[in-house]
Amino acid sequence: MKNKQYKNELTYETIKNAVAGNVDAQDAICDHYEQYIIKLSKIPYLNEHGELKYKIDEDLYMSLKVKLYEVISTFVVA
C-alpha cells in the first residue's frame, strides 16, 4: 500500500494542468494543502471548564480555500 504522504505529492504536470484551468488538478492542489489550511483556520476558545481548546473558524477556512483557488491561476509555470 502506498504511503499517504506520496499520494498528495504535487507534480509539475499537476501544477501545469491546474494553471491551465483543469479543475481536477486544482482540486489536487487544494487537497495537498488541506491540513495546512485547517491548521491556519483554528482559533482558540475557552470551553465550559475553562480549558483552552481550538475550533475551526469556517469563514476563515473558506476564505483561505477561495484564495488558494484564486492564486493557482497566477502561478508562473516555466
Q: What is the pLDDT along the chain (78 residues), one digit of tens a residue?
A: 344 444 568 999 999 999 999 999 999 999 999 999 999 999 999 999 999 999 999 999 999 999 999 999 898 887
Q: Containing domain of residue 56, as a range?
A: 4-72
**Degrees to nearest 5, angle at CA 12 with 6 and 18:** 100
In a domain, 77, yes or no: no
Q: What local confidence, expressed as pLDDT, does residue 7 receive?
A: 59
Q: Is residue 62 part of a domain?
A: yes
Asked if the structure places residue 14 within a domain, the reply is: yes
- Structural domain includes residue 78: no
Tally the domains of the chain: 1
Whether the model pTM is above 0.85? no
- Does 50 fall in a domain? yes
pLDDT of residue 8: 65
Note whether residue 15 is domain-resident: yes
